[in-house]
Chains A and B, each alone.
Chain A
Amino acid sequence: MESDGLVMTNSDRDALDALRAGRMAAVAGVNRYGWSYDLIYAVLVGSLIVVQVLPLVMRMPLMGGLLVLLAAVFVKWTRITGVRITGFSPRRARWVAVGLGAVITPLVLFVLWIGYKGGPAWVAPVAGLVGFAVALTGSRLWRRVYRAEMEALL
């Protein structure tokens, strides 16, 4: 039955059901990014913070290696799950990603500054641990917000 734009027809109801099913399939794909992804991602982010304290000659290759690993992990999980997500949509979940960046970036800069100033040795590992915890929590939280946002649209 064709929709006349005035009342809801059976085909419109089917369409609504299809909409829900499509969104749930997306959630199922994103759910396949599990704990292992979150842990590896958080370890790499934590390491990226810690290496900032090292001298330039050591820091640059290590940072390069960690960034390549981070990209490789992203590509690997995209292949495993069959869905690519950058974290910047949908709207509310985007703010989790922005918030994560807003915490991680100052941590990186802070440890870099500590390295230049010759500050206490314990600062970098502690900042790395904080970065690890923030990245792990942020990654889990992003998925939770994503799921909630998708379900709210149904």
Chain B
Amino acid sequence: MIAPPMLDPVIHAAGRLQICALLASVDEAEFAVLRDGVGVSDSVMSKHLKQLEDAGYVKVRKATTMGRQRTWLSITPAGRKAFDAHVKELTRLANLTL
């Protein structure tokens, strides 16, 4: 018996899904761009990112530019795979509903 497709609970929360969608569309994005894009506070964004990082879906890189530290984020191959599967399942559900 084939297991039914599942939505990934780590990605499914709206904020984290938005982060993954943005990161899957570029090579790397800065923390502030993600925060503004998602429209949340620094602390909420940090919590989302921590969960994604713990799941191995997001890679964090710190870079110092002109004495100011900036955080850059990218989606990992595992994150991309999970995100693609999640989007596929969401699309399937949407098509079922229509």
| Complex Cα gap A19–B25 (Å) | 11
- CB of A15 within 8 A of CB of B17, answer yes
Instruction: Say which one of A34-42, A49-57, A76-84 lies at the interface with B.
Output: A76-84
Tell me the complex Cα distance, A84–B5, Å: 33
Interface residues of B in 50-94 (CB under 8 A from A): 65, 70, 72, 87, 89-90, 93-94
Given that A12-B7, A12-B93 are contacting pairs, would A29 and B26 also be in contact in the complex, using a CB cutoff of 8 Å? Answer: yes
Which residues of chain B in 1-22 are interfacial with respect to chain A, using CB atoms and an 8 Å cutoff? Answer: 4-7, 12, 14-15, 17-22
Whether a CB of chain B sits under 8 angstroms from the CB of A26 is yes
Which among B4, B90, B97 has the greatest number of chain A C-beta atoms within 10 A? B90
B44 at the A interface (CB under 8 A):
no
Q: Which residues of A contact B21 (CB under 8 A)?
A: 18-23, 25-26
- In contact, A82 and B33 (Cβ under 8 angstroms): yes
Can you report 6 A-B residue pairs in the complex whose CB atoms are below 8 A from each other?
Answer: A15-B14, A19-B90, A21-B21, A22-B38, A83-B30, A86-B27
Residues of A within 8 A of B (CB): 3, 5-8, 11-12, 14-23, 25-30, 78-79, 81-86, 89-90, 150
